[in-house]
Structure 1
Amino acid sequence: MALLKKGDIAPDFKGLNQNNESISLADFKGKKLILYFYPKDDTPGCTAESCNLSDNYDAWIAKGYEVVGVSPDSVASHKKFAEKYGLKFNLIADTEKEILQAYGAWGEKNMYGKKYMGVLRTTYVIGEDGVIEEVFEKVQTKDHTNQIIKSLDLG
């Protein structure tokens, strides 16, 4: 499926977080949500992105936003990752890649001329009404918070 775009209705999702609790899009009704898709727990880029969002989590909450990460890693992997770095938000284990596919964040990648299927690092900002307000396909992993703030003019 192609990437969703600004103005699209965010597809509903349901998955288990790092504490084996069910999390769905409906849980965030009436809230703004930063939903980010990343390839793998505890890898350099994914750690930088997750820690940047977590380090600024209180500021996101103050601005009315919740943050949720999604990757194809297991609940156990997410638990270890979240504990190791003190991540303050939910990480959803999408081992079947259903959420990734619904959001167009699973697709063909190309590294050193080799094509393979994988996670397309993407972030969606979803409004209280469930409509996508912004899409980030070129994520600045080390400074993603400021990238989002500048784009949404929240500064």
Structure 2
Amino acid sequence: MITTGDAAPDFTLIRDGGTEVTLSASWPLVLFFYPGDSTPTCTTEAQAFSATVAAFHAKGVKVMGVSRDTLAKHDRFVAKSGLTVPLLVDEDGSVCNAYGVWAEKTTFGKTYMGIVRTTFLIGRDGRILHRWEVARIKGHVDEVLAAVEAMG
């Protein structure tokens, strides 16, 4: 599991719209992993990051989301939900595995593999400054922004 102080695993993925993004070219960065496009909680989270992205950018920090959905699903999700943060395509799950967010989950007694909603703040040096496993979306983006502001 990747945690505070660890080097962020580097990767290159396709984002919504079809262009490539390389993690190491994007530091500092808020990287949030979410289970799936167009679900109520994931939509709320992505819209909350989109609504505050200017505040992150003002601090020199980019914001990107990652799920295992396809490029086509990301493009529809961005258009339908009015998102302004890039969504990265990790269809094979290699980045989810590298960050330790692909794990066994249980919902209503059913056990399955899925993305554990997790947010990472990656510093200018490519190290993890903060790691949040997100149980509640309400207040989460504000907490991440406060950590960014504390970076200086």
Q: TM-score, normalised by structure 1?
A: 0.91
CA distance in 1, matches of 2:58, 2:5: 24
The one-letter amino acid paired with 1:67 is: V
Residue 87 of structure 1 is matched in structure 2 by 83
* Secondary structure at 1:89 match in 2: coil
Instruction: State which drifts further: 82-91 or 9-18.
Output: 82-91
Residue 60 of structure 2 is matched in structure 1 by 64
5 Å matches for 1:32-111?
32-111=28-107
* Structure 1 runs (4+) greater than 6 angstroms displaced: none
Aligned residues of 1:140 and 1:147 also touching (Cα < 8 A)? no
* Secondary structure at 1:23 match in 2: strand
The one-letter amino acid paired with 2:5 is: G
Residue 17 of structure 1 is matched in structure 2 by 15
1:114 aligns with 2:130: no
Alignment RMSD? 1.6
The one-letter amino acid paired with 1:60 is: F
CA distance in 2, matches of 1:130, 1:153: 17
Q: 1:145 to 1:62 in 2, by over 3 A?
A: same
Q: What are the superposed Cα offsets for residues 122-153 of structure 1, whole Å, 9 maximum, x if unpaired?
A: 00000010000000012432332212134456
1:90 CA displacement? 1.1
Aligned residues of 1:52 and 1:143 also touching (Cα < 8 A)? no
Q: What are the superposed Cα offsets for residues 75-127 of structure 1, whole Å, 9 maximum, x if unpaired?
A: 01001111112211210111100110000010100112221100110000000
Residue 130 of structure 2 is matched in structure 1 by 134
CA distance in 2, matches of 1:51, 1:138: 15
Gaps of 5+ in 2: none
* Secondary structure at 1:78 match in 2: helix
Q: TM-score, normalised by structure 2?
A: 0.93
CA distance in 2, matches of 1:68, 1:89: 6
Identity fraction in percent: 39
Q: How many residues align?
A: 151
The one-letter amino acid paired with 1:148 is: V
* Secondary structure at 2:139 match in 1: helix
Residue 124 of structure 1 is matched in structure 2 by 120
1:37 CA displacement? 0.2
Gaps of 5+ in 1: none
CA distance in 2, matches of 1:35, 1:70: 7
CA distance in 2, matches of 1:24, 1:153: 24
